[in-house]
Structure 1
Amino acid sequence: MAKDNKNLNKKPKVSPYWIYGIIIAVFLAIQLFSGGFGDTSGSKTTPAEFFQYLKNGDVKKVEIINNRIARVYLTKEAQEQDVHKKSKPKSLLPAVATAPNYQFEFGDLKLFQEEIAKIKAEDNVDVNVAFDSEQNVWGDLLLTLLPFVLIIGVWIFIMRRMSGGGGGGAGGQIFNIGKSKAKLFDEKIDTKTSFKDVAGLEGAKEEVQEIVDFLKFPEKYTSLGGKIPKGALLVGPPGTGKTLLAKAVAGEAQVPFFSLSGSDFVEMFVGVGASRVRDLFKQAKEKSPSIIFIDEIDAIGRARGKNNMSGSNDERENTLNQLLTEMDGFGTNTNVIVLAATNRADVLDSALMRAGRFDRQIYVDLPDVRERKEIFEVHLRPLKKEETLDIDFLAKQTPGFSGADIANVCNEAALIAARKGKKAVNKQDFLDAVDRIIGGLEKKNKIITPAEKRAVAFHEAGHATVSWMLEHAAPLVKVTIVPRGRSLGAAWYLPEERLIVHPEQMLDEMCAALGGRAAEKVIFDKISTGALSDLEKVTKQARAMVTVYGLSDKVGNLTYYDSSGQSEYGFTKPYSEKTAELIDQEISDIIEKQYQRAIALLEKNKDKLTELAEVLLDKEVIFKDNLEKIFGKRAFENSAIISEEEE
């Protein structure tokens, strides 16, 4: 039976264009062969030759067609002459009527008749002159119908394009505009990602694996009275693996998997988003049990009633209302699980987040050092790397990196090794890749004056000196005055990965960040614009201390941070003008105090600062060893990981 079905499928499909082609060919054939098969119009000749034949008495009859064409019939005797033998008509089929020997076009009919009459009188010839009119019925009909045929053909072509397949783009398929754009992944062919390909994310994997288990073995849960969860929302920073986790679910669940983005519901036409939601759930229900994955759901799931300037009929709200109804309304869909991903959970509508719609919120956080090692192992598989490569070291060098960042590091390292003509990727290539991603591309040919270079050297040396002297500041790994990206110099540090931060730690970090500007003040007694990123970082930290974490004695144990995001579009501050002045003053005092502290530290160690800056000017890049030679061993040695500060 399977073979029979295959043979049936192999039958050629009849294209409508073939039919159009056959019709045109028939019309052309009728036009060409409407006069019979063969040469029935006579040989071509000229009026002068005709008049000569007429004088010789060879012409039996002249037939004038439509007052412009003359057909000449010769006598039997004339047809036997050598000069006229080629004029004998040839036909594939027996002729119904006698065919003419010659045919030609003449000019003025009156002059033509006068010339025939003159020859008849002078040469005493007997010739019959007849008049007739002919018309090509099929040709005239074709010319009449051709414009209509073309118009109808163009109309059919346009309608087929508008209503046909090809996947509903915005400009075409006007009749399919309300259809869902979700891509259906075949569980046997399209989805090859499994949970083995997802490194780290143990907690998140456990949650979604349970959903997969329910789809595979529902009786295990239903026997105890449990119900399948309606949906799971994956929340976390960009690049942490939310979409990858959804791909793994698609690969493991072995059920139909519909994937689309939140923006796929948005269209310029009213009502399209809601229509696509209905169509999506209709398809999913037909193929249930199934999974729907909506990436970047915040495109349609934002809280309703916010910033609604467009009037009462907001298209995005209509789409969200339809989604809410489909997920948990009167017509509840059974065995259809909705997975969604976003990095903006704070702006989602509370009705969307409630139990019964998204029963589970799975937080996908940035990986810790152990999880980064696992992620490195996954992305290092396809690389030709040195056998002695220390993956633990790489994991420690990339704090705060997401899974996507680590994949980028591995790729950059391979490219750097290839650029240098190496046979394998080594440790230095990975360090160069981290520097490239964090600091930007080295610009060794950037034009910089000696005075500017000296200022940058002292600025970076100031950062290094202050961070070395403070207990809670991150210890230095590397300092460079080679321009990178938009910065003229950069310093890399090894901070601890902390879950909670104390005020002393924040103040030490702020003091170290201000060490660059303080060094310029101590050495040159003037400051420059080179500390822009330092000031931005310090100002954010000080404002967070005062307004978010409640670490200011003057403002007190208050926070003005709204984790729900409900005040995002608010036009009023949650505090009075007097409090605003107090906050501004407190932020300024904190920053100024740490700046003076950095100046005092550098004044005390001015000679060591100068020595370090001179080494930096000479070598352009210095490491932890150079600082140990000048300052001695650091009093507070902490194991840590890499971060970066740019000027």
Structure 2
Amino acid sequence: MNENQDRNSRKPLLPKPPQRPGYQIWVVVGLVMLALFTFFNRGSDPRTITKKEFKSMAQEGDVNAVTILPTQNSVEITLKDEALKNIKYRDRIPKPSLLTPYTTGPHFQFDVVDAKVFEEELQKEFPGIKYKVERRADITGGLLYWGLFILMMVGLWMIMRRVATGGPGGQIFNIGRSRATLFDAENKVKITFNDVAGLDEAKEEIKEIVEFLKNPKKFTDLGGKIPKGALLVGSPGTGKTLLAKAVAGEANVPFFSLSGSDFVEMFVGVGAARVRDLFKQAKEKAPCIIFIDEIDAIGRSRGRGSMPGANDERENTLNSLLVEMDGFATDSGVIILAATNRPDVLDSALMRPGRFDRMISIDKPDLNGRESIFKVHLKPLKLASDVDPKKLAAQTPGFAGAEIANVCNEAALIAARRNKSSVDMQDFQDAVDRVIGGLEKKNKLISPEEKKIVAYHEAGHAVAAWFLEHANPLVKVSIVPRGVAALGYAQYLPREQFLYTYEQLFDEMCMTLGGRAAEEIIFGKVSTGALSDLEHITKMSYAMVTVYGMNEKIGNVSFYDSKQSEYNFNKPYSEETGKTIDEEVRKIIDTAYQHTKNLLLEKREQLEILAKELLKREIIFQSDLENLIGKRPFDEPTTYQAYLNGNKKKDDAGDEEETTNVPVHKGPGSVPDMEGNTAPLEK
């Protein structure tokens, strides 16, 4: 048997099935019954009286026999049958029990100082009373004492057996053992790379690691070394854990899976002990993969927030992990995969090459990625003929993989509630509305005046975006009251690009101010509905002035500091510069607002048409805008149109080829809060 066969023959580290109770339970039941039997029979013991009362009984002739117990210095008295019928003794004699019926006696007892002296007194004062001397042990008390002792010992023995077999309560003696779950040939995950869509670059990196474990000679022949680890970094719901599951399903090597919180314990030294035990098991099964989910639970930067001289259990665990990954006595064959959505808090020693050699970024999917993810999650659903994954991808900008899966599930539930035989496009659109804005508030009381303000507010956004060259036209506008989105929401499909110009940012600000400007033009007053819009343009304008150097008066300087806390009041500029920044920001916003008002005044007719249509239909898509307010006065199609229809370009040979406008992910130079995520109209 070779090494691989021996490794695959090992049993997975799975919990043992619970054992049925055997003879031990009957032993415990018997001891409990014995203890209860002994305890309740104590009620039939003779009643205690005084020596004076005994002499009174003897003088009246009621005593039948006396038993002297010299070992206990006590005397037992048995009455005559005639005396038992006397009311004077009837209530005082012992109650009947299984062991001692009241007619047999003894009925009373009393203690003496010296049994020998009492015997002489009895012969002298009451010679007619029969007596005998017995030497006996206290069986009842001894039985009770030893029965309880044996019961306690048997219970302790059973608890220790349960602990040794890993049952409930067994963790106290296995507290230093690793809690990792092992997946191998006998306990294999069914998810594969075919179930992971929209993460093509990340899959290529991960596939290379799996390929190295399957065929290491291909790489080692050229002098390459196996990478020590790979860190999956991305926003929540982007598919980090799913990608790790796919690795477990694809790899033909043992796969250990656990969470970073599994190392955390209230006892000192437990986390480090579990790390050592995990790597000990992994080295025995090498080559293998260890996956640690949410590694930021133990991988935070050392020294932050700890008291001087205090013992930090998290730091001890991290130190042990660092040594095991790349210490003095490092063994090859163990690859670490870890996932986190907070790479900024991780310790620099953990991030260096030699430990985590690769940092694999998993961003939110682009248009093509969302289409691929929809195709995966649409497979198990019964779909109508009008369901188009391309349209669904275009109508869900900024959605992560988990949110897309939620949309598909919600659409199926909505179709089932409507007693449909298949899931159609309307169900998916309702599911998108529910995921973005929450449940529809059908019983929410909204006055016609408020609904009219909301309609003109959203129409202002739509018209401004439609007639501004660099703005992102709305994909969808809704004025249906919902739980999260309050009175309505607007959905955008932004250009997915790395760099922005001043003109693009300015048009985005004008589009965002379209709702406030429309309210002032139509009603002559403004409402609180523009709260999120004002927050958005304020952050954007301050970024233009203080971060990207897009202001002539401030100049080509940037006050951006990635390590600066949001609540840090130490500004890297003087008060005079801060005053100038505020003035320039206000000037940019005022200019954008005036430009938006002039545009909407010029397009007031289109504004009225769109607002009335919103009041009538409550939901409008981008495809409806061209029929309502005409074509955009620009040759370049919108991102939504380009993706649905495709662009035609000529190659070098002069032939026309059909291409799709493939959006790219934003890089480090992108503008804050330009993600195009939906925001509530009113909070």
Q: TM-score, normalised by structure 2?
A: 0.74
Q: 1:348 to 1:619 in 2, by over 3 A?
A: same
SS at match of 1:301: coil
Tell me the equivalent position of 1:501: 500
Q: 1:162 to 1:596 in 2, by over 3 A?
A: farther
Which residue, 419, 423, 426 being the options, matches 2:424?
426
Q: Where in structure 2 are the equivalents of 1:41-60 lying within 5 Å?
A: none
**Corresponding letter in the other structure for 1:146:** G
- Shift, 1:595, TM fit: 1.2
| Separation in 2, partners of 1:618, 1:520 | 19
- What CA deviation, in whole Å up to 9, does each residue of 1:87-106 have, x standing for no partner? xxxxxxxxxxxxxx996347
Q: 1:314 to 1:557 in 2, by over 3 A?
A: farther
Q: 1:640 to 1:216 in 2, by over 3 A?
A: same
Q: Where in structure 2 are the equivalents of 1:275-290 lying within 5 Å?
A: 275-290=273-288
- Shift, 1:623, TM fit: 4.2
| Separation in 1, partners of 2:373, 2:209 | 24
Which residue, 472, 488, 502 being the options, matches 2:470?
472
Tell me the equivalent position of 1:601: 599
- Larger mean CA deviation between 616-625 and 535-544 belongs to 616-625
SS at match of 1:260: strand
Q: Which runs of 5+ in 1 are unaligned?
A: 1-8, 33-61, 73-100, 111-126
Q: Which has the larger radius of gyration?
A: 1
Tell me the equivalent position of 2:84: none
Tell me the equivalent position of 1:646: 680
Contact 1:194 1:247 in 2 (8 A): yes
**Corresponding letter in the other structure for 2:488:** G
Q: 1:420 to 1:437 in 2, by over 3 A?
A: same
Q: Where in structure 2 are the equivalents of 1:108-507 lying within 5 Å?
A: 131=132, 133=134, 138-153=139-154, 155-156=156-157, 165-166=166-167, 173-309=171-307, 311-485=309-483, 486-507=485-506
Tell me the equivalent position of 1:587: 585
- What CA deviation, in whole Å up to 9, does each residue of 1:490-530 have, x standing for no partner? 23344333343222222111111111111111222221211
Q: 1:466 to 1:31 in 2, by over 3 A?
A: closer
- Shift, 1:373, TM fit: 1.9
- Larger mean CA deviation between 626-635 and 379-388 belongs to 626-635
Tell me the equivalent position of 2:610: 612
Contact 1:482 1:488 in 2 (8 A): yes
- Shift, 1:180, TM fit: 2.2
| Separation in 2, partners of 1:257, 1:580 | 55
SS at match of 1:173: helix
CA RMSD of aligned residues (A): 3.6
- Shift, 1:355, TM fit: 0.9
Contact 1:263 1:300 in 2 (8 A): yes
Q: 1:230 to 1:106 in 2, by over 3 A?
A: closer
Contact 1:497 1:640 in 2 (8 A): no
Contact 2:76 2:107 in 1 (8 A): no
Q: 1:591 to 1:393 in 2, by over 3 A?
A: same
**Corresponding letter in the other structure for 1:528:** S
Q: 1:28 to 1:313 in 2, by over 3 A?
A: closer
- What CA deviation, in whole Å up to 9, does each residue of 1:582-636 have, x standing for no partner? 3333322222221111112222233442343333334433444664455322213
- What CA deviation, in whole Å up to 9, does each residue of 1:202-247 have, x standing for no partner? 2211111121122222222223332211111111122111111111
- Shift, 1:335, TM fit: 0.9
Q: 1:571 to 1:310 in 2, by over 3 A?
A: farther
Count of aligned residue pairs for this structure pair? 562
SS at match of 1:595: helix
Q: 1:107 to 1:580 in 2, by over 3 A?
A: same
Contact 1:293 1:338 in 2 (8 A): yes
- What CA deviation, in whole Å up to 9, does each residue of 1:472-505 have, x standing for no partner? 2222343332212242122334433334322222
Which residue, 16, 24, 36 being the options, matches 1:17?
24
| Separation in 1, partners of 2:192, 2:492 | 36
Tell me the equivalent position of 2:667: none
| Separation in 1, partners of 2:161, 2:593 | 72
- Shift, 1:153, TM fit: 4.7
- Larger mean CA deviation between 565-574 and 347-356 belongs to 565-574
Contact 2:32 2:151 in 1 (8 A): no
Percent of pairs with identical residues: 58
| Separation in 2, partners of 1:186, 1:326 | 22
| Separation in 2, partners of 1:306, 1:553 | 40
Tell me the equivalent position of 1:542: 541
SS at match of 2:207: helix
| Separation in 2, partners of 1:149, 1:442 | 67
- Shift, 1:332, TM fit: 1.0
SS at match of 2:267: coil
- Larger mean CA deviation between 530-539 and 256-265 belongs to 256-265
